[in-house]
Chains A and B, each alone.
Chain A
Amino acid sequence: MKSEGKKKIWADYQKEIADDHFFYVRSCIRQSFFPGSEQFFLHFMRDVLGKDVYENPSHTSCTGIGYHSDIVPLRTIMAVVARHFALMKESGYKNIAISCVTSFGIYTEILETWRHFPRELEQTREDLYKATGREFDIPENVAHTSDIIYKFSNEIAAKAKYPLVNRLTGSPLNVVEHIGCHYAKMFPKHGVGGAEFPRVLSGMIESWGGNVVDYPERRHCCGFGFRQYLVQANRGYSMSNTIKKFASMQPFNPDLVLTNCPGCTMFMDKWQYTAKEMEGTVYGRNGEAIPVLTYEELAGLVMGYNPWDLGLQYHMVQSEPLFRKMGVVFDPADKFRTKDGKQMPSPADLINV
């Protein structure tokens, strides 16, 4: 494989990512299932880099999952997104930072729709004004939060306490990167590195010392695929897609999977539990499953944060094997203990424990 070819493609897909003053919009899934991720992002941006990141409490779901399951019509979701832009305008911000890849896809799809069909933009302005009395501006800069962490990945590397290196062997860790389909497959120009060989996560992995694994099903859906999962009868199809990916990456002996999409993190994590329960199959080495981390969780680990503060205990596939490889110091006794010292119930059947 020639890296020069990839570099040429990456050069064609360099997007502008704002440097400061972000209007931050959260992800429904991430703040529920991987709460440490958004917490770390805000801490890193505000407290470590000193950036201005604003959250508006009136921000709502983008309704993307409803849209992709044919429950929310296009005109409605355009009004919802327009309302978010109105909140941004009212708050005095022009750069939007989007935590969710589904939302990012919704925002980019709607912005492209308005660009190609100005009548739709005018209709949305009218709809929003009639419904709420609000007006909005098109954002000057649209970034997914993985774009922003990519932008500052060298700053994270400079503060790395535990680089992505196996302490026992001295070799770089093998990291599978999985990009959410709606990040760049619809509009390659909106993704760092484009759609076929995205750079946004592979850039972080290399910057933090790891080895990026390119495997045959790299581009394949994580298994969520909205209707594959949302329609209960289709869930076997959802899982079969996830298993296809894990079977394909297995020969490369990945040490972890890094994702930038909430659905991907969730399904690649939880379906591993299901596969183990149903078939007794795991896809990592030594009878272990492969930890699936968000880019904020990994950035936090690399920088030496306590893995329990990053929320890694809330995954089905536990990350202790990864901690041991990286040399991360952790206390198992604190895993399910609150900040004020109360012991929480410990979930049964976690993997890799």
Chain B
Amino acid sequence: MGRRVVVIGAGAAGMEAAGQLAKAGCSVTLVEKEEETGGNVRNWYHLFPDHRDSKEVISYLDSRVAHKNLTLITGTTVEDMEQDHGQFILKTGDGMALEADAVVVSTGFDLFRSERKEEYGYGIYDNVISSADLEKMFRKGEVLRHDGEIPRRIGLVHCVGSRDEKVGNPYCSKLCCVTAVKQAMELKKKLNTARVFCFYMDMRMGGALYEELYRESQEKYGINYIRGKVSEVSENFDNRLVVKVEDTLAGRPLKMELDMLVLMAGMEMSESGARLARAAGLKTGENKFFAIADHHFGSNKSELNGIFYAGTCTMPMNITETISHARAAVADVLDYLNTLSG
């Protein structure tokens, strides 16, 4: 059996990295805090840009970790990590001590808790939901208001918890814009007569086929994009939402009644990742994600030899980028293990 590697977190990055390392001959232990693997991908229904069912990605990832060199431990967390003579000892929440020659941290991201944007009333107004809540509705097959009615006018708010200094997140989460475009199109597919409005600051369509998706959403689905931030949400006497927003292109304030408001929650360093960073003394960056060793040449490396990063524990990424980042982490880990062998 080859060198021992512990991978922390079995989302897309962790599963891809663990599978590749096992294939390369390492003895891999993959630790996941939830009972199920798959991370945030499990919470999504269809994925951009091609509307693929997320279950296909989960199946792919499951196939990666089905390897004889790989041991999967679910339902536990890594609480502490120490280094002793080049060996890492990882202590789990349920009292295990895992030994490793190298560690891959792939603790992923948490969705921004939308209730922190108090002015939007998430958790207070029944028909203010998050993008993740809407995905659950899509998976269930019905998009309904809290009172069971079909929504006729739906708003999607971009940049909830992203590019927002007030909540301490000045960075862009990169994926919320395209998520909004995708969800707006899915809403129109499901509720043909509904009117769908997206409230955005800038449309950041930086990924492959994103711009095409954005165009299609306007030309084929008639999604209405309003450039401006929602300032406040309230409820009227009929339990309809009243949304105040500034239309910065028209140069005027708007007040709209909507049946449902969907908040495009941004990505934040996961709580489990932040805990691990504190326990293991790993640096975090200005964006509060794990700080990478070098922006150009070391995006998988930590400041400590033998500890590597994969995926969205370092910055917001889409699934394609996450998997590529995980594969790059594997290359760095194998290089590092070779130096130990030498």
Write the residues of chain A forming the contact surface with B, with a CB cutoff of 8 angstroms.
Answer: 1-2, 4-6, 8-9, 194-197, 214-219, 248, 251-252
Contact = CB atoms under 8 A, between A and B. Distances in A.
Nearest to A253: B237
Contacts of B121: 5, 196
Contacts of B237: 215, 251-252
B135 interface: no
A252 B124 CA distance: 18
A2 B126 contact: yes
Contacts of A5: 115, 121-124
Contact of B123 (A4, A195, A251): A4
Contact of A216 (B115, B118, B122, B234): B234
Nearest to A13: B118
Interface string B223-254: 00000000010111100001000000000000
> Which 4 pairs between the two chains have the least Cβ-Cβ distance?
A5-B123, A5-B124, A196-B118, A251-B237
Given A1-B126, A5-B124, A6-B124, A197 B234 contact: no
Contact of A194 (B118, B124, B232, B235): B118
Contacts of B124: 1-2, 5-6, 9, 197
A238 to B, nearest CB: 18
Nearest to A217: B234
A217 B121 CA distance: 14
Contacts of B236: 215-216, 248, 251
Given A1-B124, A1-B126, A214 B234 contact: yes
B125 interface: yes
Q: Which size class do B's interface residues fall under?
A: 10 to 19
A197 B118 contact: yes
B114 to A, nearest CB: 11
B294 interface: no
A225 B28 CA distance: 65
Given A5-B124, A216-B235, A216-B236, 16 more contacts: A1-B125, A1-B126, A2-B126, A5-B121, A5-B122, A6-B124, A9-B124, A194-B118, A195-B118, A196-B232, A215-B234, A215-B236, A215-B237, A216-B234, A218-B234, A219-B232
B108 to A, nearest CB: 25
Given A215-B236, A216-B236, A218-B234, A196 B119 contact: yes
Contacts of A8: 115, 123
Contacts of A216: 234-236, 242
A260 to B, nearest CB: 19
Given A5-B115, A8-B115, A219 B125 contact: no
Nearest to B238: A251
A237 to B, nearest CB: 14
5 contacts: A1-B126, A4-B123, A5-B121, A196-B121, A215-B237
Nearest to B257: A216
Nearest to A250: B237
A194 B237 CA distance: 24
Contacts of B123: 2, 4-5, 8
A208 to B, nearest CB: 23
B254 to A, nearest CB: 13
Interface in B93-139: 115, 118-119, 121-126
A302 B168 CA distance: 43
